[in-house]
Amino acid sequence: MKRLLLASLFTAIGCAISPATHAAPIFSPDRHADLHAQIYLGDTPMATTYGRGTVTAPADTATLNYTFSRYDYSYGYSDPSATAEVSNFSLDDRDQILAFFVAQGIPPEQIDLDLNPYDLYVTLEISNPDQASLLALEDATRQFTEADGSFYFTNSYSTCSIEEFTPLEMEARLKAIADSRARIDAMASAVGARVGSILSMIEVHGYMTTSSSCNAPDGGIGVPEVTIELGVMTSFELIN
């Protein structure tokens, strides 16, 4: 039987065609079998390709992590304020910072404070976040610390997350299957074959995170989004 081999790496399309019953992975030059493509040699014509599905959804919750310090770490320990006698954070300091965030409209049960001698770590849970509100809160926090003058706002970072993950996972899976079928159709058309039934399907996780940094789409100030990706490696029968 005439054998037909048509292969491409995952970085280009991620597919392989041949008469097949035996599979062997395609290795990258450094011998890592991570290209999501296979060459099949044997008596059953089939085509195998990788399909990818990506889904983006608005974030449900933003988790903000703020650090307040007695030291101004931006100057390092060469700054006189870093080597002078520095008082510990007190419970009064903690209560003052808590009151500030409550005044910003954040419920006390969504505020967590971790106090150590020279630093106070604050975790805030913000429901239905938007980038403009998050930036406004950070600006207000900087103004608050500058006005107080007894401690510094030294660090901040945020993560945005979604709670109902399963529907998004299913949507990404269906997109990945549709993507693999479209690639197979193109491959079969190129060699004058018809696509038969699915012989096998393997799910390949890309990134399935339920959280990401709180950046609005296209760098704007809208609602932050969380993106997930899921892939499938699918083998289809080819009919000559």
Domain count, the chain: 2
CB 153 within 8 A of CB 140: no
Mean predicted lDDT score pLDDT of the chain: 78
The CA distance from 109 to 121, in Å, is 16
The CA distance from 181 to 77, in Å, is 60
pLDDT higher than 90, residue 33 = no
128 and 81 co-located in one domain:
yes
155 and 37 co-located in one domain:
no
The CA distance from 146 to 35, in Å, is 52
The CA distance from 106 to 216, in Å, is 21
76 and 141 co-located in one domain:
yes
pLDDT, tens digit (0-9, with 9 covering 90-100), for 43-87: 778 888 999 999 988 999 999 999 999 877 665 554 545 445 567
What pLDDT, on a 0 to 100 scale, did the predictor assign at position 32?
A: 38
68 and 147 co-located in one domain:
yes
What pLDDT, on a 0 to 100 scale, did the predictor assign at position 45?
A: 80
CB 36 within 8 A of CB 50: yes
Note whether residue 94 is domain-resident. yes
**Angle, vertex CA 70, rays to CA 66 and CA 76, nearest 5:** 95
Burial label, 78 (beta-carbon count in 10 A; 0-12, 13-18, 19+): exposed
Return the CATH number at 206.
3.30.110.170
18 and 75 co-located in one domain:
no
CB 50 within 8 A of CB 15: yes
The CA distance from 163 to 207, in Å, is 16
Return the CATH number at 156.
3.30.70
214 and 200 co-located in one domain:
yes
CB 148 within 8 A of CB 90: no
**Angle, vertex CA 17, rays to CA 13 and CA 22, nearest 5:** 120
Question: Which residues neighbour 213 within 8 Å (Cβ) at sequence distance 6 or greater?
Answer: 157, 158, 159, 160, 224
pLDDT higher than 90, residue 177 = yes
69 and 106 co-located in one domain:
yes
74 and 139 co-located in one domain:
yes
pLDDT band at 20 (very low <50, low <70, confident <90, very high): very low
pTM of the predicted model as reported, rounded to 2 decimal places: 0.66
50 and 78 co-located in one domain:
no
Note whether residue 1 is domain-resident. no
118 and 189 co-located in one domain:
no
Domain extent at residue 234: 6-57+165-219+228-239
